[in-house]
Amino acid sequence: MKSRDSRLKKLQTFFKRIYRRRSLFLAALLFILSATISPVVANVSSPTPIVSSQQDGGQLANKATALYRNGKFEEAATVWEQTATVFAAKGDGLNQAMALSNLSLTYQQLGAWDKATKAVEDSLGLLKTQPQENEKLKIQAQTLDVLGYLQRERGQSADALKTWQQAAQIYSQIEEKSKLAQSKINQAQIMQDMGLFPRACNTLLEVLSQEIGVQNCQKFSELSPVQVTMKLQKIRNQASSLPVVVALRSLGELLRFEGQLEKSRIILEPSLELAQKLNSRQEIAATYLSLGNTLRALSEGEIILDKKQKYETSALNYYNQAAKLSPSPTTRQQAQLNHLSFLIQLDQLPAAEELTRSLYPQLSSLSPSHTGVYRQINFAQSLVKLAQKDSSMLKTNTQQPSFNEIDQILVRAAEQAQSLGDKRAEAYALGNRGGVYEVSGSMQNLSRSEELTKQALRLASTFESPDISSQFFWQLGRIRRQTGDIQDAISAYTQAYNALQSLRNDLLAINPEIQFSFRDSVEPVYRELVALDLEYATSLKQAGKNEESKEPLVQARNVIESLQVAELNNFFREACVTSNPRQADEVDQTAAVIYTIVLKNQLNVILSLPTQNNQRTLSLHATPIEPKEFEETVEQVQRSLKTPVSNAEEFSRTYYKQLYDWLIEPLEAELASRNNIRTLAFVLDGNLRNIPMSVLFDGKQYLVEKYAVAVTPTLQLVDPKPITQINFTALTAGLSKINEEFQSEFQPLRNVELELKKIQEFGISSRLILNEQFTSKQIKQQIANARVPSIVHLATHGQFSSKANDTFILAWDRRIGVNDLGNILRGSSLSQTRPIELLVLSACETAVGDNRAALGLAGVAVRAGARSTLATLWRVEDQSTGDMMSEFYDQLNQARKNNTSKAEALRQAQLALLNPKNVRYKLFNFKHPHFWAPFVLVGNWQ
């Protein structure tokens, strides 16, 4: 296992530096005004001046402070030097150290890093000679704060954390509670830089312990948004203080990093209110900036158009307000950069163009600094995106920077990074220069792009940098693809993919903008590599090189598997899927595994079949499809299944057959050649996840009439084993009536009690929890205090969404989120070693309008830790659900006796409704797929 120290270097991760514009602990002026240090004069007055013509040292210090606060840093530096000289002449070492500390802070604003380092080191050296008095300790702690900021700005995160921890020890010793809180906030922010999110969260909650009353990040994550709002009432009604304002804002930013967007908004709003009570323009502006980032993130994940537009408008307004109000150039520029990138994203190009003209002169004259380098790179990236937009959408007769001028911005950024000794920033600037040449058109420019990209990669190879390597190997792969060198392109893409794999866990420590751009920044690497692999495998096969074609085909399959894992990790924002060497297609020799890969203008299917020597053969089948036709077909299938019209079944079957022709018809001959194939296990891609494969129709039969069907979100199954080895016991819970709090949203499930009681009729020992007893606490207690049941059956409303925060099941007392559900079901030590065999969710549905909603089902299946999950993709009639469940448990018992599988038990239950022999089923007519198809088996099908 890798040491934590080695991972810390990687945790400044994937593209974090690009997006640092949204999460920076901003430059030194904000540093002073917010929560860390101020230029404080200790005992500045002296009874008699040393030289009567000299100004008093205290007056000089006040003058320097005023100049600093007004952004006149060069003048402030001169006055701080004079102040230090005056105090030195007086023999006042303590105040001389204070002046040198503030001189260092001022030099940092000017980017004079060597002078800043010398000044702070001189200050600390001088302090060692001073007597151990409280005033000395206070100046020493503040000087350590200055040193910590300098270290952070120069990319020395671990050193900065140690320095600020030393400062905190001193503040604690001298009982400076406000300064101690400020120092802990600094520590939390550097922990966040390093990807130490739980530690950062706990540190901030410690600062806010009296206000929020929760000191543990895990307990805080279990609070609902409503509960968080209630806890914040006390803060809103109390007197404002600067540490509380900044701690709340920092916590809000951290929650955004972790994807808890609604909680982030709820936390940031009182931070803004308290900042307004303080009448601090800088704190108000900084919180506006944070709120803008959170509302932007909310808009990017929202599928309801009205809410999405409201979030977008609010985010733009917050950015605008932050820029207008902030006295700090750094905060103002940061807000303007975020505003610009969002305007471009929203195609509000005239406004973006106008903002560009304002930013260009500001960012062209930045002094060398770590943050300044990344602001320039950020600006250049926005300019490239703006230039790539349709020129007809821009105002006429504009004066936008040319590609050459954009390149010069990055040249300056690279030079400044080099002067700072920041190789990471320099590599990043060089790589982005390569990106400018990549998009600018000609083959000559592609050659220059490749040269610059290689320079960036060579520089990145001198330090541990899989985040940079992944981005620029991807860029190199794209360049080589354009020049027609497919093998070299695959090689570069493979190195990008390998870098991403090494970052699998650390990608989760990326700041939230990266997480929300997962589909733009991470997923394309996987998909484009798969496309290249499949293209190369096809060309080799056409050339008669069948043996050589196997390697790229195997890689394509493995990359798609890795993408499935990455998507789930991104869904949860933590590593929820760990590797298991037992792949799904190694488990069952009677199962064919079908991988679907949706690429532009082409639907690819890889079929994996068992052989006699326990190996697998892979075959590729590609079908050209127009994206619009594919999407319309999938939408028609979904619509017909969720809202059936009896006389339109034949019309619907047209679409079911179209999917069959694309997915199964090319495989028929191979499947028919293996007469032992009983189960088709699908690894689905894209919108196909929302379609139950059992409804595919060959013109005469549904697929479920020929094969048992299962879905696996990843091939890395959890310790699969045959059903014959299982002793059935069940924990059953459900809602036949709804708590008054939720009655406006959910209808009673009147047949639930009968559905759950029937389980006992099939000889399955079970415990029943109903209605008011069905609480998260009760479920957890039942699992923790007893033997882990082999089956957990929850008959209640629920929703699967592409967002973890919107994926839940309904208990009597509250919605249980997907993370909470996992914690509940894994609540005993036994469940860690003996997982639940089958989780049944019999009344859930996918979120309306969310074409990636089935990702939530996969997420529930993985988070619950159950070997198999049986769930519904849409809500169906309460009565048909009860009948379906009765048939399933009957067939499950038969499967155990007959040595078949859970997938076969589900198939037989579905056939009972589809081709009814039971008089009851004939009477109610459940033949339409709407009634039997929503039930899908996820995970281990055996």
Q: pLDDT by residue (tens digit) across 784-814?
A: 765 678 899 999 999 988 887 788 999 998 8
* pLDDT surpasses 50 at 766: yes
Beta-bridge partners for 716: 583
pLDDT over 70 at 373, yes or no: yes
Distances (CA, A) of 47 to 43, 56, 90, 109: 11, 10, 11, 33
Q: What are phi and psi of 366, to 5 degrees?
A: -70, 140
End-to-end CA distance of the chain: 32
To the nearest 10°, report the CA torsion of 221, 224, 228, 230: -150
Task: Say how many residues make up the chain.
Answer: 942
Q: Would you say 319 and 289 are in contact if contact means Cβ atoms under 8 Å apart?
A: yes
591-711, CATH topology level: Nucleotidyltransferase; domain 5 (3.30.420)
Phi, psi of 652 (to 5 degrees): -65, -35
- Do 821 and 860 contact (CB within 8 A), yes or no? yes
On the question of pLDDT at 510 being above 60, the answer is no
> Rounded to an integer, what distance in angstroms lies between the CA atom of residue 771 and that of residue 782?
15
For β-strands 791-795 and 729-734, DSSP reports them as parallel
**582-616 burial by CB neighbour count: b if 16+ within 10 A, else e?**
ebbbbbbeebbbbbbbbbeebbbbbbbbbeeeeeb
Strand order in the sheet with 935-939: 616-624, 602-610, 591-599, 679-683, 708-711, 935-939, 868-872, 838-841, 791-795, 729-734, 765-770
What is the pLDDT confidence band of residue 3, given thresholds at 50, 70 and 90?
A: very low
Look at residue 40 and tell me whether its pLDDT is greater than 50: no
Q: Is residue 770 helix, strand or coil?
A: strand
Highest mean pLDDT among 231-235, 309-313, 653-657: 309-313
Give the type of residue at 786: A
Average pLDDT score over the chain: 83
Q: Which tokens belong to 902? A: 């859970």
Tell me the three-class secondary structure of 803-837, residue by residue: CHHHCEEECCCCEEEHHHHHHHHCCCHHHHHCCCC
Residue pair 247/208 in contact (Cβ under 8 Å)? The answer is: yes
3 state SS of 46: coil
Lowest mean pLDDT among 616-630, 697-711, 718-732: 718-732
Q: What class, spelled out in words, does domain 723-939 have in CATH? A: alpha beta
905 near 836, Cβ under 8 Å? no
Give Cα 610 to chain centroid, integer Å.
37
Q: Among the listed ranges 95-99, 600-604, 778-782, 930-934, which one has the minimum average pLDDT value?
A: 778-782
pLDDT tens string 131-145: 888 888 999 999 999
Mean pLDDT score, 290-307: 90
**Within 462-522, where are the H helices?**
466-482, 486-502, 512-516, 518-521
Is the pLDDT at 851 greater than 60? The verdict is yes
pLDDT digits (tens, 9 = 90+) for 626-662: 989 999 999 999 988 887 665 555 657 889 999 999 9
Mean of pLDDT values over 596-625: 88
| Nearest CA-CA partner of 528 in 500, 570, 568, 569 | 500
Strand-pair partners of 793: 732, 840
Kindly report the CA angle at 225 between 224 and 230, in degrees rounded to 5? Answer: 100
Q: In sequence order, what DSSP letters do the residues of 56-110 get, joined into one string? A: PHHHHHHHHHHHHHTT-HHHHHHHHHHHHHHHHHHT-HHHHHHHHHHHHHHHHHH
Q: Where are the alpha helices (DSSP H) in 664-785?
A: 668-672, 752-761, 776-785
Strand partners, 702: 697
Question: Which among 702, 649, 657, 658 has a CA at the least distance from the CA of 680?
Answer: 702
Reply yes or no on whether the pLDDT at 352 is more than 60. yes
Number of neighbours of residue 27 by Cβ within 10 angstroms: 23
**Fold type of domain 28-195:** 1.25.40
C-alpha torsion 781→786→790→796, nearest 10: -30
Cα separation, 140 vs 144, in Å, equals 6
How far is 173 from 134, CA to CA, in rounded Å? 9
Neighbours of 388 (CB within 10 A): 11
Angle, CA of 420, 425 and 427, to the nearest 5°: 115
CA nearest 55: which of 94, 97, 100, 89? 89
**What phi and psi, each to the nearest 5 degrees, are found at residue 135?**
-65, -40
| pLDDT-derived band at 580, boundaries 50, 70, 90 | low
**DSSP labels for 201-251?**
HHHHHHHTHHHH----HHHHHHS-HHHHHHHTHHHHTS---HHHHHHHHHH
Q: Give the residue among 799, 256, 183 at the shortest CA–CA distance from 512.
A: 256
Give the confidence band of 49 by pLDDT, cuts at 50, 70, 90: very low
Total Cβ atoms within 10 A of residue 479: 25
DSSP state of 128: T
Cα dihedral 525, 531, 536, 539, rounded to 10, equals -170
Least reliable range by pLDDT among 51-55, 121-125, 151-155, 764-768: 51-55
Provide the Cα torsion 763, 767, 769, 775; round to 10°. Answer: -130
Residue 195 identity: G
* Residues whose CB falls within 8 Å of the CB of residue 669, separated by 6 or more in sequence, listed in order: none
pTM of the model: 0.82
Cβ partners under 8 Å of residue 519, min gap 6: none
What pLDDT, on a 0 to 100 scale, did the predictor assign at position 726? 72
H-helix or E-strand spanning residue 322: helix 305-325
Ranked by mean pLDDT, which of 335-339, 805-809, 890-894 comes out on top? Answer: 335-339
Does position 713 have pLDDT exceeding 60, yes or no? yes
**For residue range 63-122, what is the model confidence (pLDDT) as tens digits?**
898 888 777 888 899 999 999 999 998 888 889 999 999 999 998 877 788 899 999 999
Measured at the alpha carbon of residue 178, what is the angle toward residues 174 and 179, in degrees to the nearest 5? 65
**25-34, 94-103, 153-162, 473-482: least confident range:** 25-34
With tokens 């890798």, the residue in question is: 2
Contacts 24+ apart (CB under 8 A), 652-658: 652/929, 653/697, 656/695, 656/696, 656/697, 656/702, 656/929, 657/696, 657/697, 657/698, 657/699, 658/633
Question: Which tokens is 379 given?
Answer: 């600006």
Q: Which residue has the higher pLDDT, 41 or 310?
A: 310
* Contact (Cβ atoms closer than 8 angstroms) between residue 863 and residue 911: no
- Give the phi and the psi of residue 767 in degrees, each rounded to 5: -110, 135
Percent of the chain topping pLDDT 90: 42
What is the phi/psi pair of residue 531, to 5°?
-60, -40
